[in-house]
Amino acid sequence: MRTTRKEVEGVFRLWLSAINGREAKSYNDVGGYQLDNNPVYGGYRVERIGNEHGGVADTFTTRLSAYYFVTALRVSMRSIEEMRLNTKGE
C-alpha cells in the first residue's frame, strides 16, 4: 500500500504533539519544526528552525521515503510512550 503525503503530514503532527513541539509558522520561526520534502533529493525529513535567518538543524539526518519516514516517526512516538511509562513511578 502506498503512503500518501496526507498520511505523512498527519503522523508529523502526531509526532509534534508527542514531543510537545510546534509546527513552524514561517521560515524564521525559531524553535518550530517543519516537514521538508524536496522532490529533487527525494524523501522527507524533519527540520527545526535554528535562527531568525531560517537556518535549520536536521532532526533526522537523512531523508526517508514516505513509508520509512512514517515508520520512523511511529517508532519514535512509541519509544516516547515507553519512556513515560517507565518514569511514572520514579
Q: Can you give the residue ranges of every domain in the chain?
A: 5-85
Please classify residue 46 by burial: count the beta carbons closer than 10 Å to its beta carbon, then call 0-12 exposed, 13-18 middle and 19+ buried.
buried
How high is the pLDDT of residue 57?
85
pLDDT, tens digit, 9 for 90 and up, residues 17-60: 999 999 999 999 999 999 999 878 889 999 999 999 989 987 77
Confidence of residue 90 (pLDDT cuts 50, 70, 90): low
Q: State pTM to two decimals.
A: 0.87
Handedness of CA 44, 45, 49, 51 (dihedral sign): negative
How high is the pLDDT of residue 80?
93
Stretch 60-65: mean pLDDT: 83
* Contact assessment for residue 29 and residue 49, using Cβ atoms and an 8 Å cutoff: yes
75, three cell numbers: 517508532
Tally of CB atoms within 10 A around 29: 15
Alpha-carbon gap, residue 37 to 15, rounded angstroms: 17
